[in-house]
Amino acid sequence: MKNRTLSAKKLKDVNLWKQQLGTVPDELWDNVGMETLILADNALTTISPKIGRLKNMRTLDLGHNQLSALPESIGELKNLQDFLYLHDNALHSLPSSFKKLLSLRYLNISENQFEKLPLEICQLSELLELRATDNQLRSLPSCIGKLTKLRELHLRNNRLKTLPDCIEELPNLKQLDLRGNPLVNLPVSMAKMSLDKLDLRWTPTLNLPKWTAALERRGCLIYK
């Protein structure tokens, strides 16, 4: 694997998916011209702070590993704009520097151990799609209303009982997945939203609000 990594030092796209690495070869961080790096499914427990050297990174896949934390230097990846996959790890928080990823458009933090949605995510003003399924989220922060470009929000299988009123401040949100949450109510403000799809399946604790009929009349497909 070392030879393969070294031979890829000048490649823009490096795919080391499912290579049983255990640890990332140190020389990989010298490939400062990389734009895509896939390290998924390698039983990684840590990521070196040297990742901050990859200033040209556009897509980073760290999914399906055993990461419990990310280095502060991840905030140096300011060109990271296409995709960031962090799903299926053991994360319960994000470094404060995460809020510097201001160009990021797709973020997947599903299948981790988040009890709260990290406030750093609220600063990612270019975010179009956020996936936070299969965590332990009990509530959403009011600052989520800052994600005004968000089109898709996936919150399946968390512990949400309701949503904040500021959810209506997401004017571009088209898909909202709330499946498998112990919902007891939803804010009336949602009736004003321009959703195309609202998924409320597997929420037996929720009595469908009457205002959902207004969403359906405007063309929203509601899964019940």
Please provide the size of the chain in residues.
224
Q: What is the DSSP letter of 5?
A: H
**By C-alpha distance, which of 115, 139, 109 is closest to 127?**
109
What pLDDT was estimated at residue 6? 43
**By C-alpha distance, which of 54, 55, 60 is closest to 40?**
60
Which SS3 state, helix, strand or coil, does residue 173 take? coil
Distance, in Å, from the CA atom of 185 to the CA atom of 187, rounded to the nearest integer, reads 7
Q: Which residue has the tokens 């179009």?
A: 128
The H or E element containing residue 16 is: none
What pLDDT was estimated at residue 96? 98
Q: Are 85 and 60 in contact (CB under 8 A)?
A: yes
What pLDDT was estimated at residue 9? 57
For residue 174, which amino acid is it? K
Q: Are 206 and 200 in contact (CB under 8 A)?
A: yes
What pLDDT was estimated at residue 10? 76
0.85 exceeded by pTM: yes
Q: What is the CATH number of domain 2-168?
A: 3.80.10.10
Domain coordinates in residue numbering, the chain? 2-168
Query: Which of the residues in the chain have pLDDT under 70?
Result: 1-9
What pLDDT was estimated at residue 5? 46
